[in-house]
Amino acid sequence: MTQPQVPKLELGGTVPTFPRLAWLAGALEASLDIAFDGDTSAVEFIAPAA
């Protein structure tokens, strides 16, 4: 991922793939939680405990 792509992702200008989300979680050293409930979905990055 290049630096110009980050703001586009943050502002909702693109829809990331599952592999990209997993890559981001690894880069952030975070866990990735994805939940689907009917027509609703949620993605959460969870920071490791200090």
Which of 32, 28, 34 minimizes the C-alpha distance to 45? 32
pTM > 0.75: no
CA 12 to chain centre: 11
Q: How many domains does the chain fold into?
A: 1
Q: 35 with 41: CB under 8 angstroms?
A: yes
Q: What are phi and psi of 40, to 5 degrees?
A: -110, 145
Q: What tens-digit pLDDT sequence spans the chain (50 residues)? A: 778 888 887 888 788 889 989 998 998 899 999 999 999 989 899 998 87
Residue corresponding to tokens 């866990």: 31
C-alpha–C-alpha distance, residues 18 and 2, integer Å? 18
